[in-house]
Amino acid sequence: MSSPTSTLSAAPRSGPGATAAKKAKVRPGGRRRTNGAAYIMLSPWILGTVGVLLLPLLYSLYLSFTQYDLLSQPHWVGLQNYREMFTADPRFVHSVWVTVQYVIASAPLKLLMALGVALLLAKPRRGQGLYRALFYLPSLLGTSVAIAIVWQGTFDVNGPFNQFLNLFGIKGGAWVSDPSTVRWVIVGLAMWQFGAPMVIFLAGLKQIPRELYEAAEVDGAGTWRRFWSITLPALSPVILFNLVVEMIGAFQAFTPAQLVGDGQGGPVDSTLFYTLYLYQKAFTEQQMGYAAAMAWVLILGLSVLTGLLFWSSRFWVHYGD
Amino acid sequence: MTANTLNPRRLDSSERPRSERRGLARLRPALWHVIVLVLLLFLLYPVLWMVGSSFKPTQAIISTLSPWPKHFAGSNYSTGWQGSAGTTFSTYFLNSVLISVGAVIGNLASCSVTAYAMARLEFRGRALVTGLAIGMLLMPKEVLLIPQYLLFHKLGWVDTDLPLIVPKFLAVDAFFVFLNLQFMRGLPRELDEAAALDGCGPFRTFRYILLPLIRPAMATTAIFTFIWTWNDYFSQLIYLNSPDKQTLPVGLRMFLDATSGSELGPMFAMATVSLAPLFALFVFFQRNLVQGIATTGFKG
């Protein structure tokens, strides 16, 4: 790496190649057009965007109206996949319900954790940077298979979580194999990874003008009052952002459902998350058309929900002037 | 209580920055540290337990709360490393490294060049191209899952590393294109103009002027590409079938299935091994990591 060019003063160095001086055409505006070079540089992106993103997007829309098992040609069936989902597939409806419950529990709880820790870390204290990084560590590790396995062990009947409860004389259940609690174990794993929203909350807290707090204090507002009347409203745009990101992420949860549950959606379909069911349809049952239709339903649902969140924001999000 | 603490605080306020007194800041520093440390202990317990248990004999793992092993047994590592059904963790580890490094190189090369062209070059269709690139941020990966699988299936790439690496060289991770684009827009245009006066074409300007300056964006790109690829269970599960192609996440899962959870010691040892590179990244780049999130506001 030739480092001398890394500063402005060193940049206009005339090297042996500079004599070539292949200047681009100068347009009346003074700006140079460099069509050729630009298209060459963009060619990988164009190939990727058209070939790996846009065409597959269209193709998946087409597939969603077909039956396709990878072996024979796709067979056009119109809206049948979509109809079947909502009228003839109780597992699909169940998977929607499981996922919605998971999202409603995990996204707000995770944000609550993130906000709590962010408030705690918001002030300049020694070791703050290191603490912040350590609180972020679970987010770094949390999506891995290793942690999912360890998480399962932690909440085993005889695992450390129940051992800990034992210290207080509480007898814990078989959290992972009990269909009524396994989802909470997965919600816990999601909450555990609160690092990203925490860092964003911290950045948001820094933006709140100090004068607001000083004025409130002069007016005799207590800690809670200041939190409700200053911190929360000022943070509301950041809360909206985090809520949208976490909601979308939660709807797409796959690894925890596949690994903390038994991988098939059990026990008794209690971990049949949407993406897990989609995966089963596509790669276990080879129903590519049906799975493509499921993906489109997910995306349409997410768009509607995101739209609703943004619409609702006019009632609770305050943008500072 | 409040009456007692009122006065010292009033005194403090004259010499300390006032922000210190906001909200929970009233807590005394020592108490604050204790609270933070206790929270961290609970939070990081599963990780400590995993690392500690990887040195315990299997029967002592589930039933003990303390992460600290009474007798250190390194044998879990040698047992676990043998893997399952004849495939060792050397294979898994090597494959994971290969795919992750390939993805990092791909993203670094393609996203920086793409972002440069969009941020700095004048060409026909520029507005369309840049708008499209940003629009790709909203592209839902679930919808692409099946058609992309079919595409790579047609190309005969299933059960090779290609579907996991080649797209990275085509700048399909819109997020990193956007990151580099935004970073480059923040650099003064005079740099390019000076270089052009000196006879640098776009390629040399990119190579010698911009590339050295976008290192922070490149670092963020590299770190997060590595972490996400390293942990990416889903696509590796879909695209890799034969045992000798498997990566760590899939290998761990297969090990779990093969032993049906009976060999927890080796299991935890291999779980620790699979996270070791992430620990290392964390130790060396914790500042970049947290700043990367803070400045760009995306999930990690």
Query: If you write DSSP's letter for every residue of B49-102 in order, what string do you get?
Result: HHHHHTTS-GGGTTT---SS-SS--THHHHHHHT-BTTB-HHHHHHHHHHHHHH
User: At residue B59, does pLDDT exceed 90?
Assistant: no
Amino acid at B273: V
3-state helix, strand, coil in chain A (%, to 5): 70, 0, 30
Q: What does the alpha-carbon distance between residue A80 and residue A96 come to, in Å, rounded to a whole number? A: 19
Put simply, the answer to whether B177 touches A31 (Cβ < 8 Å) is no
Residue for token pair 């696509």: B235
A-B Cβ pairs (cutoff 8 Å, strict): 337
Q: How far is CA B141 from CA A97, A275, B144, B205, in A?
A: 22, 11, 5, 34
Which among B48, B51, B137, B146 is the top mutation candidate for probing chain A, defined by the most A β-carbons within 10 Å of its own β-carbon? B146
B33 neighbourhood in chain A, CB within 8 Å: 125, 127
Put simply, the answer to whether A160 touches B201 (Cβ < 8 Å) is no
Give the model's pLDDT for residue B8.
39
Give the model's pLDDT for residue B300.
39
Phi/psi class of residue A94: alpha, beta or left (left: φ > 0; alpha: ψ in -120 to 50)? alpha
Phi/psi class of residue B59: alpha, beta or left (left: φ > 0; alpha: ψ in -120 to 50)? alpha
Residue for token pair 């679970």: A138
Nearest 5°: phi and psi at A26? -100, 125
User: At residue A18, does pLDDT exceed 60?
Assistant: no
Give the model's pLDDT for residue B299.
43
For A63-123, give the secondary structure using H, E and C.
HCCEECCCCCCCEECCCHHHHHHHHCCHHHHHHHHHHHHHHHHHHHHHHHHHHHHHHHHCC
Asked if B47 and B55 count as a contact pair (C-beta separation under 8 A), the reply is no
Give the model's pLDDT for residue A320.
67
Give the nearest chain A residue to B269 (CA atoms): A146
Domain segments of chain B: what residues? Answer: 1-46, 89-296
| Alpha helices (H) along chain B | 2-15, 29-53, 75-81, 89-120, 126-135, 141-154, 162-165, 174-185, 190-197, 202-204, 211-213, 215-231, 233-239, 248-259, 264-296
Query: If you write DSSP's letter for every residue of A123-189 in order, what string do you get?
Result: S--TTHHHHHHHHHHHHHHTTSHHHHHHHHHHTSTTSHHHHHHHHTT-----TTT-TTTHHHHHHHH
Distance from CA of B258 to the nearest CA of A (A): 14
User: At residue A152, does pLDDT exceed 80?
Assistant: yes
User: At residue B6, does pLDDT exceed 80?
Assistant: no
Q: What average pLDDT score do residues B253-275 get?
A: 86
Distance from CA of B14 to the nearest CA of A (A): 13
Asked if A166 and A112 count as a contact pair (C-beta separation under 8 A), the reply is no
Assess: ipTM above 0.85: no
Q: What does the alpha-carbon distance between residue A138 and residue A193 come to, in Å, rounded to a whole number? A: 5
Give the model's pLDDT for residue B293.
66
**Which range is least confidently modeled, B52-66, B78-92, B233-247?**
B52-66
Asked if B236 and B187 count as a contact pair (C-beta separation under 8 A), the reply is no
Distance of CA A221 to the CA centre of its chain: 37
Give the model's pLDDT for residue B295.
59
Distance from CA of A60 to the nearest CA of B (A): 6
Q: What does the alpha-carbon distance between residue B100 and residue B289 come to, in Å, rounded to a whole number? A: 17
Local confidence band at B263 (pLDDT 50, 70, 90 cut-offs): confident
Give the model's pLDDT for residue A310.
92
Put simply, the answer to whether A203 touches B227 (Cβ < 8 Å) is no
Give the model's pLDDT for residue A28.
46
DSSP secondary structure code for residue A33 in this structure: B
Residue B48's closest CA among A74, A134, A250, A30?
A: A134
Local confidence band at B20 (pLDDT 50, 70, 90 cut-offs): very low
Give the model's pLDDT for residue A11.
39
Give the model's pLDDT for residue A321.
53
pLDDT tens, residue by residue, A75-90:
999 999 999 999 999 9
More confident residue, A44 or B300: A44
Q: What does the alpha-carbon distance between residue B27 and residue A206 come to, in Å, rounded to a whole number? A: 19
**Which range is least confidently modeled, A137-146, A262-271, B19-28?**
B19-28
Q: What average pLDDT score do residues B204-215 get?
A: 91
In angstroms and rounded to an integer, the radius of gyration of the C-alpha atoms of chain B is: 25
Give the model's pLDDT for residue A7.
36
- Is-cis flag, bond preceding A267, omega within 30? yes
User: At residue B65, does pLDDT exceed 60?
Assistant: yes
Give the model's pLDDT for residue A266.
76
Nearest to A41 among B36, B117, B132 (CB): B117
pLDDT tens, residue by residue, A229-282:
999 999 999 999 899 989 998 998 888 888 888 778 878 888 999 999 999 999
pLDDT tens, residue by residue, A98-138:
999 999 999 999 999 999 999 999 877 788 888 988 999 99
**Which CATH superfamily, name and number, covers B89-296?**
MetI-like (1.10.3720.10)
User: At residue A71, does pLDDT exceed 90?
Assistant: no
Q: What average pLDDT score do residues B25-45 get?
A: 86
Domain A91-316, classified CATH 1.10.3720.10, yes or no: yes
Asked if A91 and A172 count as a contact pair (C-beta separation under 8 A), the reply is no
Q: How far is CA A214 from CA A210, A225, B1, B17, B128, in A?
A: 6, 13, 22, 12, 48
A138 neighbourhood in chain B, CB within 8 Å: 43-44, 47
More confident residue, B141 or A287: A287
* Chain B stretch 216-275, residues whose beta carbon is closer than 8 A to a beta carbon of chain A: 227, 230-231, 233-234, 238, 248-250, 252-253, 256, 264, 267-268, 270-272, 274-275
User: At residue A17, does pLDDT exceed 50?
Assistant: no
If 0-12 CB within 10 Å is exposed, 13-18 middle and 19+ buried, where does residue B92 land?
Answer: buried
Asked if A99 and A294 count as a contact pair (C-beta separation under 8 A), the reply is no
Give the model's pLDDT for residue A30.
46
| Sequence-ordered list of residues with C-beta below 8 angstroms from that of A97, at least 6 positions apart, any chain | none
Domain segments of chain A: what residues? Answer: 91-316
Q: What does the alpha-carbon distance between residue A165 and residue A152 come to, in Å, rounded to a whole number? A: 16
| Sequence-ordered list of residues with C-beta below 8 angstroms from that of A68, at least 6 positions apart, any chain | A74, A75, A287, A288, A289
Local confidence band at A156 (pLDDT 50, 70, 90 cut-offs): confident
Q: What percent of chain A has pLDDT over 70?
A: 89
Local confidence band at B91 (pLDDT 50, 70, 90 cut-offs): very high
